[in-house]
Amino acid sequence: MKINLLVAEIGSTTTVVNAFNGISSGKPAFIGQGQAPTTVLDGDVNIGLKGAIDNLKENLGAKNIEYDELIATSSAAGGLRMTVHGLVYDMTVRAAKEAALGAGANIHQITAGRLRRTDIKKLKEIKPNIILIAGGVDYGERDTALYNAEKIAELDLEIPVIYAGNIENHEEIKLLFEETKSKLYIVENVYPKIDQLNIEPTRKVIQEVFEEHITHAPGMTKVREMVTGPIIPTPGAVMLASKLLYNEIGDLVTLDVGGATTDVHSVTEGSEEVNRMLVSPEPFAKRTVEGDLGVYVNMKNIVNRIGIEKLSERLNISIDEVKKLIENHKPIPQTNKEKRFVEELTLEAIVTAVKRHSGKFRHLYGPNGKKTIAEGKDLTNVKYIIGTGGALTRLPRRVELMKEIPLSNKGNELLPNKEAEILIDNNYIMATLGVMSKKYPEAALKLLKESLKIVAEG
């Protein structure tokens, strides 16, 4: 059987392969899916990739499969591990962090100011895929970023380093890394002026560096033997799909609830009224990842947030039955009782994650009376709330759960309003279409609208 394009999602536990035909025809079609356990621990991710293609073959009833292209997203081998080092936490460090998260990184260390010995010790233990150095507005403070770069260069690590700080330091930074094992990438300043974010150039380079270096990760060394096109971090692919969709339908927020984390991606400028009240800038496209809010690996964190007694009331079962559900919790719920349990976990995860992602109004009192300011990301202009990931594409009450987000507003929160429409990634292919959009944006958009059941106008 001939297939135009295969897209693999190489996860930490499962590898999924999605098949598409007619990619360049104007009538792209999603024709099937296969999956198999990821084989990072076996030292060769291609074993799992081949297993997923074999499963696809079975599902399509094909004797053999030939494909023109294979592209991929990956969160295997720990995903994209990064450390971020800047000057002032609320300024350059925050800008660098936003760039890294938006690219799909898992940030394992953030430092502000000069690196201490304990910071350097921790950095070596983390063994990140990429180190990001920022600091100083353009033509402003220079010394902190240079000091941190010098300390990192002295380590002579075989790890790519991205410099996104004060442009006056470029020549010095090049000299520092000239004879080290670290490959250096210099990009535009993430924080060129006070209250100005410039995160897109850094975000783009992070994904390019990840693609170039992911093949050196344990178990990923042979991945280039099969993958013919780009490999990007899975969360970064969801962000690409969200931005693609924004250009078509407007302001949106995408929720991705997983077993270990809950990711929130928002693509919105916010309202003019709130923007005038903001005390610090927010990125147009923002991602946050809540590492404590997963419905499988981190299930007990969410149970503790809700409380066993409250879960017993909501599920209308005894406390002992709730305890049994906790003890026997599975990655994929089977019975109605298990599904209801996961729905309560998912509700807590999405409401908490969106509240952490979004901002609030605050009232300040001074000699001239009360003044209202806004802090954080403004989601009040969001027209669509999109659900992807296992929980929000498969649970029976997924739409009702997402409708609870606006209803949870205590009045001072910059959350979406009740008019926001709920869309579900029914085919669970949003990340897949994100990486597809790098080469085939029109086909990706058409397939995304089909999965979300957005009816074309006219």
Distance of alpha carbon 140 from alpha carbon 142, whole angstroms: 6
Provide the pLDDT confidence category of residue 75 given band limits of 50, 70 and 90.
Answer: confident
pLDDT of residue 14: 84
Pure H helices in 214-329:
234-249, 272-277, 299-306, 308-315, 319-327
Evaluate if residue 457 carries a pLDDT over 70: no
DSSP type of residue 289: E
Domain 2-77+217-229: state its class: alpha beta
* pLDDT tens-digit series, residues 7-61: 999 887 789 999 999 998 889 999 999 999 888 778 888 899 999 999 999 999 9
Distance of alpha carbon 60 from alpha carbon 19, whole angstroms: 10
Mean pLDDT of 102-122: 95
80-214, CATH topology level? Rossmann fold (3.40.50)
* pLDDT tens-digit series, residues 290-338: 989 989 888 999 999 999 999 999 999 999 999 999 999 988 899 999 9
pLDDT of residue 386: 98
Q: Comparing 2-77+217-229 with 234-307+343-430, is the CATH topology the same?
A: yes
Q: What is the chain's mean pLDDT, rounded?
A: 93
The residue among 371, 369, 368 whose CA lies nearest residue 276 is 371
- The owner of tokens 């009816």 is 455
Provide the pLDDT confidence category of residue 456 given band limits of 50, 70 and 90.
Answer: low
Provide the pLDDT confidence category of residue 458 given band limits of 50, 70 and 90.
Answer: very low
Q: Where are the domains of the chain?
A: 2-77+217-229, 80-214, 234-307+343-430
Distance of alpha carbon 164 from alpha carbon 130, whole angstroms: 13
Pick the CATH number of 234-307+343-430 from 2.60.40, 3.30.70, 3.30.420, 1.10.260: 3.30.420
Q: What is the CA radius of gyration of the chain?
A: 23
- The owner of tokens 């999605």 is 18
Evaluate if residue 73 carries a pLDDT over 70: yes
Mean pLDDT of 203-231: 86
Which of 7-11, 182-186, 246-250 is the least confident region?
7-11
Evaluate if residue 180 carries a pLDDT over 90: yes
Distance of alpha carbon 204 from alpha carbon 438, whole angstroms: 12
Mean pLDDT of 218-234: 86
Distance of alpha carbon 426 from alpha carbon 193, whole angstroms: 42
Distance of alpha carbon 153 from alpha carbon 123, whole angstroms: 13
DSSP states along 69-123: EEEEEE--TTSEEEEEEESSIIIIIHHHHHHHHHTTEEEEEEEESSPPHHHHHHH
pLDDT of residue 214: 80
Mean pLDDT of 67-83: 88
Residue 56's Cβ-side half-sphere holds a number of Cα atoms within 13 Å equal to: 29
* pLDDT tens-digit series, residues 393-403: 999 999 999 99
Evaluate if residue 200 carries a pLDDT over 80: yes
Mean pLDDT of 222-244: 91
* pLDDT tens-digit series, residues 259-278: 888 999 999 999 999 999 99
In terms of phi and psi (left: phi > 0; alpha: psi -120 to 50; beta: otherwise), the region of 407 is alpha
